[in-house]
Amino acid sequence: MKTHPDYTASIECDNLNDLEVDDFEKYYILINNSFADNNTKGLNLTVGGQGYHTISAETRAKISKSSMGKVISAEARAKLRAANIQYPVRCVETGKSYNNSHDAGRATNIEHANINRACKKHWTAGGYH
């Protein structure tokens, strides 16, 4: 891991897949306010999570076609819900923190999906970053 001369961080976890590692990276960059665009002392040039590749449109179409008509069992749905980790959200302008995008959406009257998109793409949601 590359480090800043005045700062070193290391977290060791076992049995994580690439997406889980990326999610943890995003989470810790957010809670530590270490994204360079957020402040002059930011240590990270991205919000994290860029470790995996993008799936092509052709591959997505093949996956979609192979998944058509498949029924997901109630047990599988429960596992998916349990695995859905929600991350804290902080408004750059107001400095207010929320437990997740749903709480932020309820408090600001902004659709939570727009807040998620703003967090992932560095866009605004309802005029806020």
pLDDT, tens digit, 9 for 90 and up, residues 73-97 = 899 888 877 777 677 888 888 888 8
Would you say residue 96 lies in a domain?
A: yes
Buried b / exposed e along 99-123 (16+ C-beta atoms within 10 A) = eebebbbeebebebeebbebbeeee
In a domain, 116, yes or no: yes
Terminal alpha carbon distance of the chain: 29
Question: Rounded to whole angstroms, how far apart are CA atoms 87 and 73?
Answer: 26
Structural domain boundaries, residue 21: 14-49
Number of domains in the chain: 2
Q: Is 26 within a domain? A: yes
Give per-residue pLDDT as tens, 6-17. 666 666 777 777
Structure tokens at 41: 């002392």
The answer to whether 97 and 103 have CB atoms below 8 angstroms apart is no
Cα–Cα dist 92/124, whole Å: 10
Tens of pLDDT, residue by residue over 31-72, are 777 776 656 666 766 777 665 556 788 988 998 898 888 888
Distance of alpha carbon 34 from the chain centroid = 15
- Residue 1 inside a domain? The answer is no
pTM of the model: 0.36
Question: Is residue 61 a part of any domain in this protein?
Answer: no
67 within some domain: no
